[in-house]
Every structure is written in structure tokens, then in C-alpha cells.
Chains A and B, each alone.
Chain A
């Protein structure tokens, strides 16, 4: 199982996923032309990690803008984490937002609605 390291572009976030540390990070804006295609490697990686490794996983998000299809993918990712958490896997999420940009914080909270796993929204590293 390889690590993921996808560089950010002007319309897609950078994605890093490390098997050894169980750390997944997404940062930047997300409005790809095809969100489902773009996020497929990450979804695949998470499926493998959560079903094979069953090790703790921390997802760190520094996302400012998401288009509609990215919102949909994000909800799928959260569902995956929720399902893994329900099976006893130690998953957690930290959503960083730029201090002063409360809109992003409010949106991160809105995503949190149905999540029961540890989920923190905090002003954080740029």
C-alpha cells in the first residue's frame, strides 16, 4: 500500500496520506472538473487502510472552498470514517480554518452534524 502525495493546484487541494503514521491531510481549494475522479485515489487509499490496516487514522483538513461535487465527496469520506469508527477503529478529524474566516469554521461545523467520531474545528496552521 503506497503513500499518497498529490500536489495542490489552483483548483485542487494537495493530498497526503501516510500509511506509517495514519495521517491524511488535504489543503487548498477544491473545485476540480471531475471531483469523483480526482478524489478516487484517496477514497481507494482510505478503503484499503481502514479495512486492511485497521490502525488509527487522523484526517487533517485545511480546505477553504469546496464546489458542490467536492462537498458530496467530502460527505462520502466522512461516512467512511464514521463507519470505521463504528467498527472500533480509532479515527479522528481536525478541520483547520484561517483565523478570522469564521465562514469556513461554520461550514466545517455543518459537515460535523452526523459524525460521532472525534472532530475538531480549530484556527490553525496556515
Chain B
């Protein structure tokens, strides 16, 4: 409170104590005090209004910040969402490429590249578990005649039909791959030579009894098979070599037969 206000208060208090003080004089001092009081009230109202205004502005600024923050958050979420979907797309594409790299386009069987990897992997498994594995090579008999007489389209059809028949006759854990033109590699896990021979004989019979229609006629198809059992410690090429020699024996024995070594 200003010094003037103090003196007004002192004068008013002193007059109220003095009975001789005149009413008019007392009234003028009280009116001056009342006027001062109104001034203070107006000042207080103004300060309150300004303060409310600042608080409102701050609140709005806070809202703006919040809105901005929420907008940015939504944007980041969208970027992450879209980016995640692109990653999924990329993974699917990679999966398709891997599958294509391992698959023979004509037959849908595993290709030679995958079969080689699988042979090594299964040999490792046999070595670790002291298990058994038989490796067979199957070759379509007189395939050249099919191609020469009826064209490559008919030859492809024969390869596909035989591939389907071989695949259908195998167990889930066996593998049939296209090894070369008309040659297939068959890996028979958990099988000794006798069991493998029986299974391969069933496959040979299934193919012998197939009906292969081409150019309004039917052609007899058959396969020769050579099979060998993996021997502990040997390399993959050694068992493959024996299977190939067994196949040679089957061909020399008149074809359409299964030989083992």
C-alpha cells in the first residue's frame, strides 16, 4: 500500500477517536479511502483478467502441442505399419526365390542343387546317429525314343508323369529329385538296402503299369534303378558312384529292373 494510503488510514483512525472531529471532514477522508479501495479492486480485476488470459493461452498452446504430437505419432505409426508390410512382402519374395532355386521347373521336384545339399545333410545325420540311408538313381528306359518319335513335349509329359508317380510312392521323409534329363535321385532315409529295394521295386512296378497316352496311342514306360546303401565314413560321391554302377547293371540286365550294390 502506498504512503498516501497509510496517512489516510492514520487520519481516519485519529478522527474516529476524537469526538470533536467534524462529520464533513471525516466523510471526505472516508470517501478518499473508498476511492482508493475501488482503484485497488479495478487493478486486481485487471491482473486477474490478464492472468486468466495467460493461463488460457498456455492451455491452448498445450493443446496445440498435444495435437501436433498426436499427429506426429500417428504418422510414425503409419510409417512403421507400411514398412512392416514391405518387410513381409520382401520375405515372401525371398521365400519364393529360395523355393524356385531349389525346385525343378518341369516336375516340381527338388532340383539337383537341392538334392546335393540334402544328400550331404542326410549323410551328416547318419554319421551322428549311426542311422541308415540308401541312395538310388532311376533312369527312364529308352527315353530318347519317346523324344525322337513324339517330340520333346511328349518327352516332358512322360518325365512329369514319372516324377509324379515316384513322388506319390515315397514316404514323407524320402526325397525324390530330378538329377538330370531323364534321371532321378531318390534318398531313402532310415532304410537298409533290403527295405529300400522293396520300396523301389514297388515304384518300378507302378511305372510299368502306368498308361501313358500320346498322339492317340499309349506308350509303355519303364525305369531302371540302381541303389546303394551309404557306408559309414565314406564321402557322398562314393555312394553316388555305387548307385550309378548299380543303375548300369540294371540297364545291362535288360532294363526295367532294380539292382543294388
> Known: A65-B90, A75-B75, A75-B78. Contact between A106 and B85, CB under 8 A?
yes
Measured CB to CB, the closest approach of chain B to A112, in angstroms, equals 11
Measured CB to CB, the closest approach of chain A to B72, in angstroms, equals 12
Q: Is the interface of B mostly helix, strand, loop or mixed?
A: helix
Residue contact B89 to A107, C-beta cutoff 8 Å: yes
> Known: A75-B75, A75-B78. Contact between A67 and B89, CB under 8 A?
no
B92 at the interface (CB under 8 A from A): yes
Residues of chain B within 8 A (CB-CB) of A72 are 79
Q: How far is the CA of A28 from the CA of B89 in the complex (A)?
A: 15
Residues of chain B within 8 A (CB-CB) of A24 are none
Q: Which of A65, A67, A71, A72 counts the most B-chain CB atoms under 10 A from its CB? A: A71
> B75-105 interface mask toward A, CB cutoff 8 Å, 1 = contact, 0 = none?
1001111110110111010000000000000
A61 at the interface (CB under 8 A from B): no
Residue of B80, B85, B86, B88 near A67 (CB, 8 A) is B86
Q: Which residue of A lies closest to B74 (CB)?
A: A114
Residues of chain A within 8 A (CB-CB) of B88 are 103
Q: How far is the CA of A4 from the CA of B75 in the complex (A)?
A: 29
Residue contact B79 to A103, C-beta cutoff 8 Å: no
Residue of A65, A66, A113 near B78 (CB, 8 A) is A113
Query: Could you write out 28 A-B pairs with CB less than 8 Å apart?
Result: A65-B86, A65-B89, A65-B90, A66-B82, A67-B83, A67-B86, A68-B79, A68-B80, A68-B83, A68-B86, A71-B83, A71-B86, A72-B79, A75-B75, A75-B78, A75-B79, A103-B85, A103-B92, A104-B89, A106-B85, A107-B82, A107-B85, A107-B86, A107-B89, A110-B78, A110-B85, A111-B82, A113-B78
List of 5 A-B pairs having minimum Cβ-Cβ separation, nearest first = A68-B83, A103-B89, A71-B82, A71-B83, A71-B79
Q: Which B residues fall within an 8 A CB radius of A? A: 75, 78-83, 85-86, 88-90, 92
Given contacts A65-B90, A104-B89, 8 further A-B contacts (CB under 8 A): A68-B80, A68-B83, A71-B82, A103-B89, A107-B86, A107-B89, A110-B82, A110-B85
